[in-house]
């Protein structure tokens, strides 16, 4: 009988790739689709209009990072003169899929959904998740038509993944490649800069830009919050299951680089300079070997390089890098059930942890029985893993943001679907279905999920429009402060709690 304890490293990959496999554009009635052209400062784009929404797919925001630009900082896209077709999605970024390499290194494109009516609309720039190694900007879940019909311009962006966007190659390829671990972040900054310069052509207001995402997309949002040079590019943030810890010191990046170099030598018998021209599949094979053998989760991360990312993100945020900005942030109660399954058979190992060493994790985990005597051992394992990767980093991020002069609204999703393998839990990614108003029609609590989905979608739209998040059917959602820590608990009957999980959060003081 197959064990229900899943390796997080493998399970997150298969889950993300399952989403990738279903990434198809919703069916459109050809009879109702009309061509539409907009003239941007970079050149004209030919897209489509249907149902009151204008859609532009596969819009370049940077030069293809191929050839001499592989592993190099992002280069702004050049202008064009003839109308450019924007009716098809571009290729996904290069990534592993079921033992194969898919996608393309020519991946720096975005997609725009905008209201057809003239106006000056708020803009939502969405960053997809996938552990920084998988995912796409065109998953059907992220179709922005619904947001456009709510008077919001939705932009979904791609970025370089894995070794192409988050591996430090200076030690292997020379100083001209130093800082390559931040290329994926540079891609996002370039996309936001494209929005600043071009979004008015689509009816968007460049002074009202929200950047946000879920999972890795939320963690990248946290990184952007701690980058001083990115401050002018957005005025609001949404973080769903994120935090602001996915940037590592140079020493850690150097160790990962060394580990990749050893695997490259043994796996390809090639010298390091060959990486610059090697096939994408050979680089992905070594990347997979690195992730399978590395003693910690997520070895490929952005880097605290002292320039683009000057220091620990929460320190920069607390010092005011997001002063005056608004943040909507939260987590799901049982995030880690998605990765380890409902019945994890042992306490967390190093490969299960995102931020701490095993000994540090166990220092906090040993006290969970005192705080949660009503939970089973399996539930406590899931709850502690969730705290280590999502809950505590999110609270640290919101506290830094408020300390630095920002305003925030905090939530926790407790709703359970009541059927399926994880029906008794609120797992990672359940919020995505609800916020994008795409509830499941097959779960046991389908009617309740539909209602909650409408409420969360409405609350998010209110926030994107610059208002406090609010919706009919949920209580007043007041802002987060450091004393009361008021948090919206989304459930069949949503309510606000002050200082939720306070005892649990204190277990992680001085650890996270």
Domains and CATH numbers, the chain: 33-322 (3.40.50.1820), 330-512 (3.40.50.1820)
Dihedral angle sign, alpha carbons of residues 317, 323, 328, 333: positive
- The pair of three-digit structure tokens given for residue 361, joined into one six-digit string: 């994790």
For range 150-170, the mean pLDDT: 98
Is the pLDDT at 4 greater than 50? The verdict is no
In whole angstroms, what is the distance from residue 47 CA to residue 485 CA?
45
**What integer is the mean pLDDT of 85-110?**
97
- Check: CB of residue 216 under 8 Å from CB of residue 393: no
Cβ neighbours of residue 20 under 8 Å, at least 6 residues apart? 92, 95, 97, 102, 130, 134, 135, 136, 139
**Separation between Cα atoms, residue 417 and residue 427, nearest integer Å:** 10
Per-residue pLDDT tens over the stretch 249-286: 999 999 999 999 999 999 999 999 999 999 999 999 99
Query: Which tens digit of pLDDT belongs to each residue from 32-66?
Result: 999 999 999 999 999 999 999 999 999 999 999 99
In this predicted structure, what is the pLDDT of residue 116?
A: 98
In our burial notation (b when 16+ CB lie closer than 10 A, e otherwise), range 433-444 reads bbbbbebbeebe
> 15-24, 26-35, 302-311, 383-392: which has the minimum mean pLDDT?
15-24
Partners of 54 in the β-ladder: 49, 114
Tell me the pLDDT band of 26, cut-offs 50, 70 and 90. very low
Q: Which residues 6+ apart lie within 8 Å of 433 measured at CB?
A: 141, 439, 440, 453
pTM: 0.94
Mean per-residue pLDDT for 464-468? 98
Q: Which of 12-26, 28-42, 103-117, 317-331 has the lowest average pLDDT? A: 12-26
Confidence of residue 296 (pLDDT cuts 50, 70, 90): confident
198: pLDDT strictly greater than 90 = yes
Tokens for 52, please give them: 């009151």
**Phi/psi of residue 493, nearest 5 degrees:** -125, 95
Strands (E), 141-197: 153-157
pLDDT > 70? residue 8:
no
Residue 270 — φ and ψ, nearest 5°?
A: -110, 155
Percent of the chain with pLDDT over 70: 94
pLDDT in tens, 413-456: 999 999 989 999 999 999 999 999 999 999 999 999 999 999 99
In tens, the pLDDT along 346-401 reads 999 888 999 999 999 999 999 999 999 999 999 999 999 999 999 999 999 999 99
Tell me the mean pLDDT in the region 75-91.
98
Percent of the chain with pLDDT over 90: 93
Nearby residues of 363 by Cβ (< 8 Å), 6 or more positions away: 511
| Closest to 124 measured CA to CA, from 215, 214, 235, 212 | 212
């Amino acid at each position: 009988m197959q064990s229900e304890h899943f390796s997080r490293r493998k399970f997150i990959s298969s889950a993300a790739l399952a989403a990738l496999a279903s990434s198809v554009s919703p069916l459109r009635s050809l009879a109702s689709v009309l061509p539409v052209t907009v003239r941007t400062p970079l050149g004209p784009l030919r897209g489509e209009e249907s149902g009151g929404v204008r859609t532009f797919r596969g819009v370049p925001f940077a030069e293809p990072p191929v050839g001499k630009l592989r592993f190099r900082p992002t280069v702004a896209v050049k202008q064009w003169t003839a109308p450019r077709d924007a009716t098809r999605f571009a290729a996904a970024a290069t990534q592993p899929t079921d033992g194969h390499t898919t996608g393309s290194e020519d991946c720096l494109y975005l997609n725009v959904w905008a209201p057809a009516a003239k106006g000056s609309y708020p803009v939502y720039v969405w960053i997809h998740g996938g552990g920084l190694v998988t995912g796409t900007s065109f998953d059907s879940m992220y179709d922005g038509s619904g947001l456009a019909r709510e008077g919001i311009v939705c932009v979904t962006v791609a970025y370089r993944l894995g070794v192409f966007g988050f591996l430090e190659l200076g030690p292997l390829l020379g100083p001209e490649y130093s800082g390559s671990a931040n290329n994926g972040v540079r891609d996002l900054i370039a996309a936001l800069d494209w929005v600043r310069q071009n979004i008015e052509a689509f009816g968007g207001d460049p002074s009202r830009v929200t950047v946000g995402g879920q999972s890795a997309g939320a963690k990248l949002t946290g990184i952007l919050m701690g980058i001083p040079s990115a401050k002018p590019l957005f005025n609001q943030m949404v973080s769903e299951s994120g935090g602001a810890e996915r940037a590592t010191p140079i020493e850690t990046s150097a160790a990962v680089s060394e580990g990749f170099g050893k695997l490259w030598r043994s796996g390809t018998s090639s010298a390091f300079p060959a990486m610059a021209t090697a096939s994408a599949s050979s680089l992905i094979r070594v990347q997979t070997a690195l992730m399978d053998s590395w003693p910690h989760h997520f070895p490929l991360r952005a880097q605290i390089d002292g320039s683009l990312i000057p220091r620990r993100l929460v320190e920069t945020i607390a010092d005011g890098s997001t002063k005056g900005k608004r943040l909507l942030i939260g987590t799901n109660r049982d995030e880690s059930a998605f990765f380890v399954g409902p019945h994890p058979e042992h306490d967390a190992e190093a490969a299960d942890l995102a931020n701490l060493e095993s000994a540090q994790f166990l220092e906090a985990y040993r006290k969970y029985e005192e705080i949660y005597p009503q939970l089973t051992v399996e539930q406590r394992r899931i709850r502690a893993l969730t705290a280590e990767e999502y809950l505590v980093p999110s609270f640290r991020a919101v506290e830094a943001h408020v300390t630095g002069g920002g305003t925030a609204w905090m939530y926790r999703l407790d709703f359970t679907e009541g059927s399926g393998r994880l029906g008794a839990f609120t797992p990672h990614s359940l919020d995505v279905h609800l916020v994008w108003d795409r509830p499941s029609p097959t779960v046991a609590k389908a009617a309740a999920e539909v209602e909650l989905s409408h409420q969360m979608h409405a609350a998010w739209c209110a926030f994107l429009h610059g208002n406090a998040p609010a919706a009919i059917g949920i209580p007043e959602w007041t802002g987060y402060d450091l004393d009361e820590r008021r948090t919206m608990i989304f459930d069949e009957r949503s309510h606000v709690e002050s200082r939720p999980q306070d005892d649990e959060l204190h277990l992680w003081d001085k650890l996270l």
